[in-house]
Structure 1
């Protein structure tokens, strides 16, 4: 029986997937038909929805045969709380996306660890060496697939890494903390803090004035996660005491030209490039989950929506 798949994203996104997605489904052995919203398909005949958070599809009620929604992006905050969606929801996790995040986080942690900005901008001659990685503690807030991969990479470079997450994670060589007390310990003990938690009700403004005050004087904050994890006004107020903030995600994107982050001497803005979905590898992830679902196997990367729907 042919599996009917609705690609519920923009026409521009479809151009990127028009070749690689059918090829990936064929390689996975899935007999398929791919539809787009512009085709006005009968919702009751759709088995799977490949979804972009910017999609106009918001009411899943008519999709009575739906077996799952597969997100095109890592972030699911724009769909996880949708009460019309009762089918399983899977986030995008694929090796290239993970590798991109590891490279961004590792690069910017090393940049701040080594003090490269001062050298690039021609600071006066100062032969004082930076500490070795073993003396530069890092806190990884969020230990999902991306956070764990980044924590392992930093651990392998010699950084003492503390991971903070909703549940204890067993990652050799990485200290695992949970709850509010664990967050306090992680923030107070780190020279560099990396934000990679998902955006949920409990992580909205995770880095507020109180938690920013726990960070050490001169500490660095990296946010390659979600813009809403940071209370922007609180961060701007804390920056005179902190060392730097390197930010890749923002509440409004592209970041408005008049946003104070652009001109702040202690802020580096990167244009949401830390972890970009690459169609060829993402298509293989999508195809594998559809294959698993059609075979009655457990789906990969399912989202726990209990908090969002509480």
Structure 2
């Protein structure tokens, strides 16, 4: 069994060593052009040349939850793409989103600004009943986020393309339910996969349906958001602010207005990072299962895009 590792913007050596230790009977190496065919590939944003050369692959294992970059390549028909189910990312995402929601709800930005200027200030406590939070996308990450928000007694709504059930969460499904979902929420958290159907879904029309003084948290993909529409809604006062962790161009260009807008919090795509050891253990387990002819979780439907 031969495994090849092809990771853009990452050093492959720790992955090679970890996979070799987890699967001692395998031959594991970092991909170089001209390498012999492999059975399995562990990848992040590989070049098209890798796909064209590795014609005997039984599956591609993506080292992140999002597979949109892979699905933009010309993949051979029938090649399985397998994403990470969790591997330590869901708890990170829950931490990040809960921090962003609570920071805005409790007006900590305002207190911080006051203390910098030596002011001892007071703000009237807000009622959680007036701050329903909506989570777009109820996959592994979205479900964990919705459940975490319920711990803090926020009313939580969830929206997904197909019906889901999450205890304590009001679930909406399908295009027909999107408007009702949006108008029920003051805070919107985006955790949708990026597909042709969801690109630009965070626009003037959808964000304008949030309750007045709405707040956006985008932790999925930058291409979900129409940047100018967000800025217009912030400047009009319909949206009170946003926390953004993902952007159309990364790193975010130095002259982008998001950097300096007073109602925006910007972080460098750090909401949920891949944890290498956990990911290697999961990928190795899935390779072993597929070798035995067993099904595995996380196989991507190329039609749906996730």
TM over 0.5: yes
**Alignment match, 1:183:** 178
**Structure-to-structure mapping, 1:141-180, within 5 angstroms:** 141-180=136-175
**2:126 aligns with one of 127, 130, 135:** 130
Task: Output the CA distance in 2 between the equivalents of 1:110 and 1:39.
Answer: 49
**Alignment match, 2:36:** 42
Correspondence 1:298 to 2:295 = yes
**Alignment match, 1:277:** 274
Q: Deviations over 1:151-200 (max 9, x none)?
A: 11112221111110110111111111122332111211111100000000
Correspondence 1:222 to 2:217 = yes
Deviation at 1:35, TM superposition (A): 2.2
Q: Secondary structure at the match of 1:244?
A: strand
**1:100 aligns with one of 85, 92, 100:** 92
**2:207 aligns with one of 191, 209, 212:** 212
Deviation at 1:22, TM superposition (A): 2.2
Q: Secondary structure at the match of 1:19?
A: helix
**Alignment match, 1:231:** 226
Q: Deviations over 1:117-151 (max 9, x none)?
A: 111111762241122x3442100001111001101
Taking a change above 3 Å as real, the CA distance of residues 256 and 61 of structure 1, as seen in their structure-2 partners, is: closer
Task: Output the CA distance in 2 between the equivalents of 1:64 and 1:39.
Answer: 13
Q: Provide the aligned length of Structure 1 versus Structure 2.
A: 299
Q: Secondary structure at the match of 2:147?
A: helix
Q: Deviations over 1:68-127 (max 9, x none)?
A: 110011211111243433311111233311111111111111111111111111176224
Deviation at 1:58, TM superposition (A): 4.6
Correspondence 1:246 to 2:243 = yes
**1:89 aligns with one of 72, 81, 85:** 81
Equivalent residues of 2:199, 2:224 under 8 A apart: yes
Task: Output the CA distance in 1 between the equivalents of 2:9 and 2:241.
Answer: 39
Taking a change above 3 Å as real, the CA distance of residues 232 and 203 of structure 1, as seen in their structure-2 partners, is: same
Runs of 4 or more above 6 Å deviation: none
The runs of 5 or more residues in structure 1 that have no matched partner are none
**Alignment match, 2:17:** 19
Equivalent residues of 2:65, 2:86 under 8 A apart: no
**Alignment match, 2:102:** 110
Deviation at 1:11, TM superposition (A): 7.6
Equivalent residues of 1:81, 1:308 under 8 A apart: no
The runs of 5 or more residues in structure 2 that have no matched partner are none
Task: Output the CA distance in 2 between the equivalents of 1:155 and 1:118.
Answer: 25
Larger relative contact order (CA 8 Å, sep ≥ 6):
1
Taking a change above 3 Å as real, the CA distance of residues 154 and 308 of structure 1, as seen in their structure-2 partners, is: closer
Range with greater deviation from structure 2 (80-89 or 9-18): 9-18
Deviation at 1:65, TM superposition (A): 3.0
Equivalent residues of 2:81, 2:299 under 8 A apart: yes
Q: Secondary structure at the match of 1:122?
A: helix
Q: Secondary structure at the match of 1:7?
A: strand
Task: Output the CA distance in 1 between the equivalents of 2:123 and 2:216.
Answer: 26
Task: Output the CA distance in 2 between the equivalents of 1:273 and 1:63.
Answer: 31
